[in-house]
């Protein structure tokens, strides 16, 4: 799709530039006008004229803000509000420095809503893909209590911890995936390039060869002849698996499997408990109503089993019961956690208790990730060594056997 470099003046009088992908120049102009902008210039960018860096910048400009962008925005806004700068001026200043045109446009729209007299939380609520319900509700609570800058700092801290935790979990999952891909690649190389070299040596001597050699030679011949079918089957299998876990039954199965899979189950369990309790603690301490807190906690739990648990708690609390009652009937939370939640509920210090428990599980999550990573390396080495050793044995055994027959 062609790209066009544009320059427009927003309804607030701000001049902005960027790159937009559109089927043609008319469609690009209509898109900009539909956003309430006055188009000043629109220049097509030819594919050959774009450098690699320009293409990367163009791709970045057509995507929305990342969580890191939201974190930086929140931190900057907290500092500017604490320095006495008005919300409107702070939003305008941050938007001027924003390098992502889409996020810049979002910030300018929020600024326009604030200038029109809408609360900041209502302006944020118009952009649910960028600002989560937790973010919006904590800001709304701060508008009532008057602790706006302090609440923004807490939101920024929450986002930073969430980004760090997500990066650690992804890193722990990438490591075994890379090792597994290397193991499969080495095995395929041995089967398709090494073993066929011995086919002529073992030809006509199948009766004298041990079963491992016969098995691997047949497998090697199959791989050499039908490699395209193996690649196609693997690709189709991955696509079908991805499509399956995107369905509701498949998503339930996958969420359940993650809590049962050896080695990784402790990591996922600690992740979901830490995320749920941390979210709930932040919302309770921010003064968000309990029913809203439970609904938001369930929505961002990250696992359908935990989401169902918190929705059950929501229904129980709505019916006049305490939080700890439905939690005590579930195996998703340890008994000690339920007891501490119950104690915090009875003493009126639920927010403090949840913060302490979530902090404990955050530390446990880091320790579990280190343990999982340290366990995966020797396991993968043993598996790779076993595969390579089996192939080496299948090659060496018939050579020894044939040499004894010759003697």
Q: Which helix (H) or strand (E) holds 292?
A: helix 290-299
Nearest-angstrom CA–CA distance, 381 and 179: 9
**Which of 301, 308, 251, 305 is closest to 271 using CA atoms?**
301
Residue 184 is part of a domain; what is its CATH number?
1.20.81.30
Segment 97-150, tens digit of pLDDT:
888 888 888 888 898 888 888 889 889 988 888 888 888 888 888 887 777 888
pTM for the whole thing? 0.69
Q: What's the mean pLDDT when you consider all of the chain? A: 81
Query: What range does the domain containing 398 cover?
Result: 154-407
Q: How far apart are CA 381 and CA 297, in angstroms?
A: 40
User: 84 and 51 in one domain?
Assistant: no
Which tokens go with 236? 């189709």
Please state the domain count of the chain.
3
β pairing state of 38-45 and 3-9: antiparallel
Whether residue 74 sits in one domain with residue 202: no
Instruction: Grade residue 41 by pLDDT with cuts at 50, 70 and 90.
Output: low
Q: Is residue 161 located within the same domain as residue 310?
A: yes
**Is residue 145, in this structure, part of any structural domain at all?**
no
- For residues 239 and 282, state if they share a domain: yes
In this predicted model, what pLDDT tens digit does every residue of 286-324 receive, in sequence order? Answer: 888 888 888 888 888 888 999 999 999 999 888 888 888
Residues 315 and 367 in one domain: yes
- Look at the block and give the residue holding tokens 């309990």: 290
Considering the domain architecture, whether residues 122 and 258 belong to the same structural domain is answered as no
Question: Are residues 213 and 314 located together in one domain of the fold?
Answer: yes
pLDDT at 256: 93
Q: Which two tokens stand for residue 131?
A: 């600002």
Same domain, 196 and 120: no
pLDDT at 58: 46
Mean pLDDT of 177-194: 81
């Amino acid at each position: 799709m062609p790209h066009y470099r544009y320059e427009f003046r927003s309804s607030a009088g701000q001049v902005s530039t960027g790159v937009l992908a559109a089927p043609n120049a008319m469609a690009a102009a209509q898109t900009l006008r539909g956003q309430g902008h006055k188009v000043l210039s629109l220049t097509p960018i030819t594919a050959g004229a774009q450098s690699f860096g320009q293409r990367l910048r163009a791709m970045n400009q057509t995507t929305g803000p990342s969580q890191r962008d939201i974190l930086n925005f929140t931190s900057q806004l907290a500092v500017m509000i604490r320095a006495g700068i008005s919300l409107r001026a702070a939003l305008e200043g941050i938007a001027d420095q924003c390098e992502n045109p889409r996020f810049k446009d979002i910030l300018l729209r929020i600024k326009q809503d604030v200038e029109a007299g809408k609360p900041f939380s209502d302006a944020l609520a118009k952009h649910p893909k960028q600002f989560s319900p937790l973010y919006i509700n904590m800001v709304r609570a701060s508008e009532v209590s008057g602790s706006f800058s302090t609440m923004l700092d807490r939101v920024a801290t929450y986002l930073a911890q969430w980004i760090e935790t997500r990066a650690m979990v992804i890193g722990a999952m990438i490591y075994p995936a890379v090792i597994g891909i290397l193991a499969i690649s080495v095995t395929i190389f041995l089967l398709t390039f090494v073993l066929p070299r011995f086919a002529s040596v073992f030809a006509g001597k199948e009766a004298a060869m041990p079963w491992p050699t016969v098995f691997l030679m047949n497998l090697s011949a199959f791989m050499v002849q039908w490699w395209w079918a193996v690649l196609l089957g693997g690709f189709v299998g991955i696509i079908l698996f991805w499509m399956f876990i995107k369905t509701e039954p498949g998503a339930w199965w996958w969420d359940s499997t993650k809590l049962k899979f050896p080695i990784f189950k402790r990591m996922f369990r600690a992740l979901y408990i830490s995320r749920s309790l941390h979210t709930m603690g932040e919302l309770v301490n921010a003064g968000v109503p309990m029913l809203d807190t439970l609904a938001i906690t369930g929505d961002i739990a990250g696992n359908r089993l935990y989401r169902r648990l918190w929705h059950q708690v929501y229904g129980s609390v709505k019916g006049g019961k305490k939080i700890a009652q439905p939690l005590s009937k579930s195996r998703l939370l340890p008994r000690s956690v339920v007891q501490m939640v119950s104690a915090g509920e009875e003493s009126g210090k639920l927010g403090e208790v949840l913060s302490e428990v979530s902090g404990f599980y955050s530390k446990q999550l880091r320790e579990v990730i280190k343990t999982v990573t340290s366990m995966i390396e020797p396991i993968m080495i043993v598996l790779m060594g076993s595969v390579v050793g089996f192939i080496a044995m299948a090659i060496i055994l018939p050579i020894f056997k044939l040499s004894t027959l010759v003697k």
